[in-house]
A and B are shown apart, each in its own frame.
Chain A
Amino acid sequence: MTVSLEAKRAEQPFQFMAASYLIRIGAQPVHTLGDFAKSLRTCPQASIFYHTFQSLEAHHYTSFSSDFAQWALAACNEAALAEQLAVVDLRDIVSLEDLRNILVGIVDDHLKEHSQAIDRRAFEAFYFCEAKEVTVPIGSPASTLAELADGIRLLGHQSLHYHFINSRLRLQLKTNDFSYWIEKSLNHPWLAARLNRIDFYNDTLDELRQDILALLEPQESR
């Protein structure tokens, strides 16, 4: 006898977390791309995380979702560099050191070809920041897909970001919390993979929520 997906109950329920962030501003701003390249090598991993993964939450109106890319474009007028920094696909990243090395390589390569840009003063300084995270368990744990969908409907923006985007580094598995749980606890790899293909780069968090629910709801009502 097979158990339908909507009826399946996980032995290990999904625990929703409310995530909140406070932005800590670094002490020393950088004013040139040359200094930016140096600081990129030494800044805390939390800064790399904040200006790439975390900034996906905030950039609905700007050209690029990466703070680094946005600064290269808007403050340094280096469109080609900005594009290269922006197109690093965070879905492929499982280590912040790997991400740092990729970003450092992009900046170094650009400055090798455009040495005049090394010491040119940017219109605005760049401040390396990091997000201080506070998480608390929230809501009823979910044991079924319907309960997971109900919980997702009640997640705040930052918590949705935490489970769907920031989780990729926490899990180090190129996936998100929801997909991981659906695959491991409900044994439904197809749905997990489908959920993981959602393009969070081009969604607002409300659109992301709708995209997730649109995939879960047919399963609920099937």
Chain B
Amino acid sequence: MSTIEIAKPAAQVMPGLQDYAAIVGEPEIIELRELARRLAGRRVKMVNSTAVGGGVAEILNRLVPLIKEVGLPTQWDVITGGEKFFHVTKAFHNALHGAPFEVAPDWADVFLSTNEENRRRMQFDEDFVVIHDPQPVALIAERDANPRRWVWRCHIDLSNPNAQVWDFLKPWVDRYDASLFSSPQFTRGLHIPQYLFYPTIDPLADKNRDLDPEFVSGVLEQFHIDPTRPILTQISRFDRLKDPVGVIRAYRLVKKYEDCQLVLAGGSASDDPEGAAVQQEAEQAAAGDPDIHILNLPPWSHLEINALQRASTIVIQKSLREGFGLTVSEALWKKKPVVASAVGGIPSQVIHKLTGMLVHSVEGTAYQIRFLLANPAFAQTLGENGHQHVKEQFLLTHNLKRYLVLFLILLEGD
């Protein structure tokens, strides 16, 4: 898959907790420190399957330093696995979102043996172990030898899972002390406690912080995007569940009435082997239209993504299935009107006609885009409301607080 070359920026100095006081208010910071004081010295391990690309890695990149800062030493480990393993876990991912489960017959052996290899390689002596998503779920086997408090954080939509895959995973999940879901609709009626954990964005990260307008203009120029005509943007990995071809079809319906442009910008994650094929499908659907900009950006393009969102007239998230869709929160934070599918965790972020527009089809997407282009004052109100909604629910400091409360509850033996 061809990727646009963007120079790696100098590493951003990670903000400290106090830096967030300007956004969430000093009282929230004081209370976070007070909560953390009750847990001082307790140790945490986070485990997931990729260090870069995708929402989970992004959350952990920002969250782990803050947990450390408030006094809980935290280790973030990434499991390793071969190509076969990640094909199986990608098939899991798709099947848990309702797609058919199509894998080689030895899939269970591949999955379990890779988990076992990782279990042997890793140390588990922390007070709290948080396992993210299905890929490392079988690490819970370690619990027999190491009875810490184990939590399974599920970032994906389990509302309509393939039964074969869920029946395989559920016995592993049932061994945890608690499970964390991004929306009530994602839960599966587990017997262990199920807690609501909205994913969050970091308002001070390069992807979300305020930008100099000249930088934004420069990015548009770099990608040959015309700032004088409406810009419709979808930011997401090249993944069929994000429906990039459906977005192009919606754009074509809008284009009949409005001389607009479409930006499909994203990258790929190291645990997703399908990205190249999906990008190719999108390019074929674009059929050389010069107003469709398909940008495969490297994982460090946070400032460019930020600039594209800020330059957008409307941000689209036309996913067919979605874990939570953090790109929606990112757009709302930038006060952008959002047109997004009513799937996964998106309705938690987009309250129809109040913080954005929810849609259910290609045609509906085009219809609402046209409505917002024709009603810019209403579009602006949606963006303002959306910003406030994110501020109250979906910022990194909320995530930090939820983890601290969770750990206190686990210690009390919920």
Contacts and interface: CB of A to CB of B under 8 A. Distances in A.
Interface in A152-170: 153-159
A24 B194 contact: yes
B196 interface: yes
A60 interface: yes
Contact of A62 (B181, B351, B405, B414): B351
Contact of A134 (B185, B195, B392, B405): B405
Given A127-B185, A134-B35, A155-B27, A21 B194 contact: no
A34 to B, nearest CB: 19
Contacts of B185: 29, 124-125, 127
B388 to A, nearest CB: 7
B191 interface: yes
A24 B27 contact: no
Contact of A25 (B38, B184, B355): B184
Contacts of B27: 153-157, 159
Contacts of B406: 22
A134 B190 CA distance: 23
Nearest to A59: B351
Contacts of A139: 30
A134 B35 CA distance: 9
Nearest to A19: B31
Given A20-B404, A22-B406, A156-B28, A61 B389 contact: yes
A83 B35 CA distance: 38
A177 to B, nearest CB: 16
B196 A23 contact: yes
B184 A129 contact: yes
A62 B354 CA distance: 8
B187 to A, nearest CB: 5
B351 A24 contact: no
Interface in B374-410: 385, 388-389, 392-393, 401-402, 404-406, 408-409
Interface string B191-208: 101111000000000000
B35 A136 contact: yes
A20 B31 contact: yes
Interface residues of A, number: 30
Nearest to A133: B405
A134 B409 contact: yes
A35 to B, nearest CB: 14
Contacts of B408: 134
Contact of A27 (B28, B34, B191): B191
Q: Which of A62, A124, A134, A139 has the most CB of B within 10 A?
A: A134
B187 A20 contact: no
Q: Which of A139, A154, A156 has the most CB of B within 10 A?
A: A156
A22 B406 CA distance: 7
Interface of B: 25-28, 30-31, 34-35, 38, 181, 184-185, 187, 189-191, 193-196, 347, 351, 354-355, 385, 388-389, 392-393, 401-402, 404-406, 408-409, 414
Interface of A: 18, 20-25, 27-29, 58, 60-62, 124-125, 127, 129, 132, 134, 136, 138-139, 153-159
25 contacts: A18-B34, A22-B195, A22-B196, A22-B406, A24-B193, A24-B194, A24-B196, A25-B187, A27-B191, A29-B185, A61-B354, A127-B184, A127-B187, A129-B184, A132-B414, A134-B409, A136-B35, A138-B30, A139-B30, A154-B30, A156-B31, A157-B27, A157-B28, A157-B392, A159-B31
Given A21-B405, A153-B27, 11 more contacts: A24-B193, A24-B194, A25-B187, A25-B194, A25-B195, A28-B189, A60-B389, A62-B351, A154-B27, A156-B28, A156-B31
